């Protein structure tokens, strides 16, 4: 009998319904840029982040006096304090504070996964620390990619493939879904070419704000931090 | 200005809504086994196939005296004449006949795509003939993978990647979606390993009927036929 736990990959929030309830841990991934920014926030001393799925909820928090970040289609939404650039969170004024965040893809994925036993935030920035922690948990794990406007994206998938490959390499995990097999292949075969392409491109997905190239380089750099953000009672906090 | 047409890949019927209306031609792919069986049917002289999405519709046709195939989860549904094994259609009694077909994944994909200008059926079995025809059309093309129970599957994706690679190689097409880039990578990097694995496996997805190994070998064999099934007025016919 196989006592290994499962590590599987779901490509988009829309497909989560076909996976849920079988995994004790869900790793939400939005490499460009929400989960990278969330890791940067905790690395830089932010106390907690309340992820919300809609601009309306974000406005309600803003009206109550919260610091609120809101991003849609790569831009900071008018009237909000910041978007999802990791650099926004490297700000002394935010240390020790609670902030609210809504983004195009990442907070949507956090929202669909919120009823799982354990929801943690993954990115390339906290890859090794996250993998080491996951390997110790003895739980079934699902990597939930945020995608881009409900479609598959490569950077989240490659990140999920890297996590899968690490966990399977420990001998304690296995995967059987085709999406997981594909994510591993893409991690193993496409990493160098794709990451090079991404780093060189500032036109990706109409994200044309000035800092995008810097943001992309930051988000695609593995292991900048050891923080593992975890969802507790509707708030992200540092594990 | 880039005059090339788009060739893109959609991984599941559920994601089709994020792609539709931008593509004049949709290629529906369900390698294991619906679209392979449909190609086999036309190769063997069947006149037309009425694809239906539900068992209920199939029963209504059956009650009217039609020859009806119905498959769910790899098995022939009780009370129907055949399922989606290509070998079912190599039957003299079906030559020149009109049949009705419902399957777990493939006819669902045909159903979601039915309002596109042109819907054709793709498989590995008609790969070259289909690619050559598509290359002459000067239209935007979407490969719609049927997936497996609404999830991504590798064999449809690899088939879509093969079509994309061919069309891009003509210089007349380009692709920009991450799913299309991934499909090409998977076709180029995973074909040998994955097809070998698939051909050797009879336990895939609980499809345990006796002929499955033969079915898989058949479905994974490129270029057994030149037929291109096309949807016209709700019926599949030979182009």
Tell me, what's the pLDDT at B165? Answer: 96
**pLDDT mean over B84-108:** 93
Q: Helix, strand or coil for residue B148? A: strand
Query: What are A113-144's pLDDT values in tens digits?
Result: 999 999 999 999 999 999 999 999 999 999 99
Q: Which residue of B has its CA nearest to A204?
A: B176
Q: Give backbone dihedrals phi and psi of B233, rounded to 5 degrees, phi first.
A: 50, 45
Q: How confident is the model at residue A189 (pLDDT cuts 50, 70, 90)?
A: confident
In this structure, chain A runs to a length of: 239
The Cα–Cα gap between B221 and B155 comes to 12
Q: Helix, strand or coil for residue B215? A: helix
Q: Is the peptide bond before B70 cis (omega within 30 degrees of 0)?
A: no
pTM of the model: 0.93
**pLDDT mean over A180-197:** 83
Q: How far is A140 from chain B (nearest CA, A)?
A: 19
Domain ranges (residues) in chain B:
5-238
Tell me, what's the pLDDT at A162? Answer: 97
Nearest to A11 among B11, B19, B185 (CB): B11
What are the tokens at B53?
Answer: 């999405």
**pLDDT mean over B86-94:** 93
Give the residue from B16, B146, B151 with the most A CB atoms within 10 Å of its CB, the best one to mutate: B151
Query: What are A96-113's pLDDT values in tens digits?
Result: 999 999 998 889 999 999
Q: Is B181 in Cβ contact with A152 (below 8 Å)?
A: no
Are the CB atoms for B35 and B28 separated by under 8 Å?
Answer: yes
* CATH classification (class only), B5-238: alpha beta
Per the model's pLDDT, the better-predicted residue between A210 and B121 turns out to be B121
The percentage of residues in chain B with a pLDDT greater than 90, rounded to a whole number, is: 75
Say which range, B16-20, B39-43, B44-48, B213-217, has the weakest mean pLDDT. Answer: B213-217
Sheet holding B173-174, edge to edge: B75-76, B67-72, B98-102, B48-51, B235-238, B229-232, B118-122, B25-29, B141-145, B5-10, B173-174
Query: What are A220-235's pLDDT values in tens digits?
Result: 999 999 999 999 999 9
The Cα–Cα gap between B43 and B85 comes to 14
The Cα–Cα gap between A189 and B189 comes to 7
Q: Give backbone dihedrals phi and psi of A226, rounded to 5 degrees, phi first.
A: -105, 5
**pLDDT mean over B65-85:** 91
B204 CB neighbours in chain A (<8 A) are: none
B186 CB neighbours in chain A (<8 A) are: 182, 185-186
Q: Helix, strand or coil for residue A151? A: strand
| B22–chain A Cβ distance below 8 A for any pair | no
Query: What are B107-154's pLDDT values in tens digits?
Result: 999 999 999 999 999 999 999 999 999 999 999 999 999 998 889 999
Q: How confident is the model at residue A155 (pLDDT cuts 50, 70, 90)?
A: very high
A47: exposed, middle or buried (Cβ count in 10 Å: 0-12, 13-18, 19+): middle
* CATH classification (class only), A5-230: alpha beta
Q: Is the predicted pLDDT of residue A57 greater than 70, yes or no?
A: yes
| B201–chain A Cβ distance below 8 A for any pair | no
């Amino acid at each position: 009998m196989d006592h290994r736990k499962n590590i599987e990959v779901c490509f988009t929030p829309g497909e989560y319904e076909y996976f849920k309830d079988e995994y004790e841990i869900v790793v939400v991934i939005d490499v460009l840029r929400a989960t990278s920014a969330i890791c940067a926030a905790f690395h830089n001393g932010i106390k907690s982040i309340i992820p919300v799925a809609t601009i309306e909820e974000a406005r309600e928090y803003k009206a109550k006096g919260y610091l609120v970040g809101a991003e849609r289609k790569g831009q900071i939404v008018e009237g909000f304090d910041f978007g999802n650039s990791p650099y926004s969170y490297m700000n002394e004024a935010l240390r020790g504070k609670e902030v609210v965040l809504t983004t195009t893809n990442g907070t949507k994925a956090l929202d669909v996964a919120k009823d799982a036993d354990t929801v943690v935030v993954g990115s390339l920035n906290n890859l090794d620390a996250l993998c080491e922690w996951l390997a110790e948990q003895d739980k079934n794990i699902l990597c939930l990619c945020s995608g881009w406007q409900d479609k598959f994206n490569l950077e989240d998938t490659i990140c999920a493939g890297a996590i899968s490959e690490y966990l399977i390499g420990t001998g304690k995990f296995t995967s059987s879904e085709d999406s997981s097999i594909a994510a591993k292949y893409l991690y193993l075969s496409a990493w160098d070419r794709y990451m090079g392409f991404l780093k060189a491109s500032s036109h990706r997905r109409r994200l044309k704000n000035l800092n995008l190239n810097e943001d992309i380089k930051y988000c695609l750099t593995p292991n900048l931090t050891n923080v593992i953000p975890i969802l507790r009672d509707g708030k992200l906090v540092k594990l």
